[in-house]
Structure 1
Amino acid sequence: MAVTAGAAPRRSNQRAACAVLAVALAGCSQGPSAVTIRPVVDGPSDDMDATPLGLDTVEMSVAHAGGADQKLQLFKRGQALELSGLPFGDDLVVHMWGPDRDVTDNIAYGRTCVVSVAADAPVPEPHLFFSRKGKFATLDIRPVTRVAGLSIPYLGSALLIAGHDDDGPVTEVERFDPSTGEFHPVGMVGQRDQAVQALFTPPNGPQRALVIGGSANNLGVNDIDVIEGLNDGLMRMSVATSDMGRVGLTATTLGNGNVIVVGGRIPGGPVVGDIDEIAPSASDSTPLPSKIAMLAHPRAGHTATRIGDARAAEVLIAGGADDTGTPVGTAERFDPLSNGLIDTTASPPIMVHPRSGHAAVPLIDGSVVFIGGLDATGPVRELEGYRPGVGFFRYSNAVLSVDQAVVDFATTILPDGRILVTGGRAGPAGGRIERAYVIDTNPFDGTPIITPTDSMMYARAGHQAVLLCDGTVLITGGAPPGFPAERYNPPDTGRR
């Protein structure tokens, strides 16, 4: 079936996408069947705020990922959305603007994930999510309700794992594939809440998604759930044994593909200072955990942030609380070359605002920004930074407002390098909020600029937010049962 400017797509969001294009370009008619590629256009579901209304034209292009357009075409009302005469390649992307990319007030954008077009393969029909830029759009999918769950970007899709609902831990694993628009369960894992995630990439084996730690029935979960994608699109679930049954721990992928797991608290027990490494076994590259070091300052509710993309990039361990609940002010640095902590006794890195339950996000200039969290007196609204060779420092005028979240929020690095912060609570006893904001950096002095953006349709806290392969952000969970997922469509900058 050829998709016209106004035609309904297949699989998920059928009514939504037809509504988008029917309103924008009128009519759900069919075009010629002999085309090279027919993108399937998805869109918001019953969400007029995110739906691009009143479009007389749209513009589509095909380009190699990150490259210049190879073919560009303008479509008027009623024309079939189909592109022919495309170059062969395994890294092609279809872009769509409304009304077109060169008009200063273009309001809508969408792109596909990377697709392959080959002479000896079936013609692809990739999905493209098209909506107003800078808006949250409601989707026609309703994931399993989960709070404090995980969303893992894996093999171009998003895996939703773990967390809890009103009845206890959630064991169902769900997968959303933006390239096909399909959302469905893919398996089950053991019961666990407050777990952490990491991607494990051995040099001689497939990448795997790991779910580590957490608790079930007030006991720590020692097993690691290992998820591996197969060639037929299915997921293989397996278990690796460990002794990392802790909450408030962190898992960080190193530059060499291994994972370090740091600190945490044994449920009902003490805070620990263990640093474990998950490395490939010598026989078959399966993940094998082992204890390699100890923190000088045991902590839970901290962050562990890899600084840079180099194979030997160090990890900054900051914040968290000790056994007495007191925030830990002294940060520690892990060196993957020595598999140990760097001696900073002579000049220890001290946080401006010791905090726990915060977020730490790397910036494109090599620094790290710390957002939210709690200190000994309550919410921390002042952002602070860390830069290698400088240490922690205070920003000028980078302070969250009293109605912006400091706990239970989610952060996502957007394709243009900005940080999207969604939902959460303005205090530890506050209600869920729907507000969102974007953190950009001043190009002259690197100071964060906090700018409110569109609000989510639903208030969420302890939710999941994951960047998809098309540059949009999938928002799930953290809301009452039955609430639909949402999708944030950033500007097209950085999404080539």
Structure 2
Amino acid sequence: MTQNALLGCVACVLLSLAAQAGGGELEGRMGLVHGLYEKLEYEKALEQIQLIRRLSRTVDQNIKLYLYEGVLLAELSRPTEAAMAFKEGLSLAILFSRERKRLPIKVSPKIDECFTAVRSSLEKMGSKGENHAGVQLEKVEMLEPRTGVWSSVVPLSGPRSGHTAVPLPSGQILACGGSTPKSAASVDAEVYDPSLRKWKLVKSMATPRIHHTATVLPSGKVLVTGGYDGTEWLSSSEIYNPATGIWSKTGSLHSARSGHTSVLLPSGKVLVVGGDDGGTWLASAEVYDPAKGSWTLTSSMQTPRSEHTAVVMASGRVMVAGGRTSGTSLSSVEIYNPATAVWTLSEPMLFDRWLHAAVRLTSGEVLVVGGHNDPQGAEIYDPVAGTWGMAKPLLTGRFSHHTATLLRSGKVLVLGGSSGGGASLANAEVYDPERDDWKALRSLPTPRGRHSATLSPGGRVLVVGGMVTSAIIPPKSCGSER
């Protein structure tokens, strides 16, 4: 097949995709891409594909766009980026159980060999349980926001990622659970004392957990809920008492769940929302009463979801945004009213996203950043108007497992996470809501994702553990950089 014929074929398939997706704007963009292909203006065509991805609304469309992007990057002799695009598309296909043995278009043997090599590499990783392969960290670093300077802190007792870390009333910080080099889920818990700048192991939890939640109750105790123990999804909950350093069991959830959210309501009760149980995405929600030590089912969301965000707004209502469910990623937003126990739909986000981060600003608005499908995007929710608006994009796109922390200044620190190629990021940046602007900070000394970032009473940010992964190395079949 000639190069012109290949480009024509790509254009035809893309135009077909546009027709399936519907929408005048998307179809118009596809027509523009077709013209750029005919003129062999590949770079401009790639820019249009990035814009088109923002218009797509299904996982299948996003998978195809990543694979098309990989083809074009390979044609441009950019093998590292091509391999990254193939990896992202194939990772989505694997995650959402989509069959993807070949590219959706006919390509040259060289490009097909590159694609096949990336697919084979991912399949081998999956067979060994290494989909998230990387090195777990025991390193702890602290940021002084006023100076933007990072300093090293005494490390954890051992590496961990996917844990939780919450501030205690004493000013100490409790880190618990997560994955370690020795186990998929850990029972270990330890406390950081800022005055001594030391970690101290405390009594272990009763159950190993990863992808759980931890919520500080009005009493100062910490409620840890759900998650995964390496074999089963969990419905159990337990409470840590800082005064005694002891864990005690409390009431169990009605449904086992992981990838859920947990927030403290103004009443002092705790709302847990969504998640999955290893086979089913959940729409259910439950409320924990510390006085009774038990959970009560409340009304369910309209859409099941996992890996979403939940933010308590100034009104006391809870905004749940995005996430993913069976076969698709979400832009939908639902608001829970604790006074009536009723969910209502609000205006959806401008882009669907999951594994993103969200934080309530001092203005009462909610900032949402990054995540799959719109890694560099940022948008702001106005709870009074019930509408979303675009914020200035992040300086660095972040696909997943980054953190967003509200600083005392009212600015927001965003750091870490992963790039499109799977590499952990060291980049840190701060958002100024008054100026709608991002400012790059000094990078973390150690790249990481699946970490925690906790604001200490002194206003410093403690970044704990996590995992560092490398970008995919393009197979030799993908060629060498020009």
One of 273, 279, 285 as aligned partner of 1:262? 273
Per-residue CA distance 1:441-471 (angstroms, 9 max, x = gap): 125xxxx311111111111111111111111
Corresponding residue to 1:161 among 171, 176, 183: 176
Deviation at 1:142, TM superposition (A): 3.6
Deviation at 1:251, TM superposition (A): 0.3
Q: Return the offset for 1:479.
A: 3.7
Equivalent position to 1:224, from 227, 231, 237: 237
Listed as ranges, the gaps of 5+ residues in structure 2 are: 1-142, 470-482
Superposed, which structure 2 residues align to 1:240-251 within 5 Å? 240=250, 241-251=252-262
Corresponding residue to 2:394 among 393, 397, 400:
400
Query: What are the Cα deviations for residues 129-180 of structure 1, in whole angstroms up to 9, with x where unaligned?
Result: 9998211101233442111111111122100111102222121101001134
Find the aligned partners of 1:382 and 1:455 in 2 and give their Cα distance: 20
Is residue 193 from structure 1 mapped to residue 207 from structure 2 by the alignment? no
**Which protein, 1 or 2, shows the higher relative CO under an 8 Å CA cutoff with sep ≥ 6?**
2
The alpha carbon displacement at 1:400 in A equals 2.2
**Corresponding residue pairs, total:** 324
- Please state how far the C-alpha of 1:389 moved relative to its aligned partner: 3.0
- Provide closer, same or farther for how the CA distance between residues 385 and 145 of structure 1 changes in structure 2, counting only shifts above 3 A: same
Change (3 A) 1:350 1:191: same
Alignment counterpart, residue 299 of structure 1, candidates 278, 283, 305: 305
Q: Tell me, yes or no, if structure 1 residue 415 matches structure 2 residue 408.
A: yes
1:170 paired with 2:186, answer: yes
Counterpart of 2:284 (choices 270, 274, 277) is 274
5+ residue gaps in structure 1?
Answer: 1-128, 482-496
Q: Residue type of the partner of 2:333?
A: A
The residue identity in structure 2 corresponding to 1:256 is S
* Distance in 2, Cα, partners of 1:477 & 1:243: 31
**1:452 alignment partner in structure 2:** 440
Asked whether the 8 Å contact 1:212–1:244 carries over to 2, the reply is: no
Q: Report the structure, 1 or 2, having the larger helix content.
A: 2
- Residue deviations 1:363-411, cap 9 Å, x none? 1111101101113xxx432111111132332325x1124x442311122
Check the 8 A contact 2:156/2:465 in 1, yes or no.
Answer: no
Matches within 5 A, 1:327-342: 327-342=329-344
Q: Report the 3-state secondary structure (helix = DSSP H, G, I; strand = E; otherwise coil) of the residue aligned with 1:405.
A: coil
Pairwise CA RMSD: 2.2
Give the secondary structure class of the aligned counterpart of 1:301: coil
- For 1:57, the equivalent position in structure 2 comes to none
Partner Cα distance (1:442, 1:471) in 2: 20
Aligned mates of 1:454, 1:480 — CA distance in 2: 18
Q: 1:59-98 maps to which residues of 2 (within 5 A)?
A: none
Provide the rounded CA distance (Å) in 2 between the counterparts of 1:132 and 1:315. Answer: 31
Q: Conserved in 2, the CA contact under 8 Å of 1:229 and 1:236?
A: yes
Q: How does 1:244-393 map to 2 (within 5 A)?
A: 244-267=255-278, 269-280=279-290, 285-308=291-314, 313-324=316-327, 326-342=328-344, 344=345, 348-375=346-373, 379-393=374-388
Instruction: Provide the C-alpha distance between the structure 1 equivalents of 2:275 and 2:387, rounded to a whole number of angstroms.
Output: 23
**Cα distance in 2 between the residues matched to 1:275 and 1:479:** 30
Q: 1:339 and 1:130 mapped to 2: Cα distance?
A: 40
Equivalent residue of 1:198, what SS? strand
Post-superposition CA distance 1:222-257 (Å, at most 9, x none): 111211121xxx312011222342112100111111
CA–CA separation in structure 2 for the residues paired with 1:236 and 1:140: 23
Equivalent position amino acid for 1:408 in 2: H
2:208 is paired with a residue whose SS is: coil
2:148 corresponds in structure 1 to: 134
Structure-2 separation of matches of 1:335 and 1:143: 41
C-alpha distance in structure 2 between counterparts of 1:251 and 1:145, whole Å: 25
TM normalised by structure 1 equals 0.62
Counterparts of 1:258 and 1:370, CA distance in 2: 25
Q: Tell me, yes or no, if the aligned pair for 2:254 and 2:297 is still in contact at 8 Å.
A: no
The Cα of 1:340 is off from its aligned counterpart by 2.2
* 1:359 positional shift: 0.9
Secondary structure in 2 aligned to 1:220?
coil
The residue type equivalent to 1:395 in the other structure is M
The residue that corresponds to 2:195 in the other structure is 179
Q: Which residue of 2 aligns with 1:119?
A: none
CA contact (8 A) 2:426 2:447 kept: yes
Secondary structure of the 1:270 match is coil
One-letter amino acid of the structure 2 residue matched with residue 399 of structure 1: P
Give the structure with the higher percent strand: 1
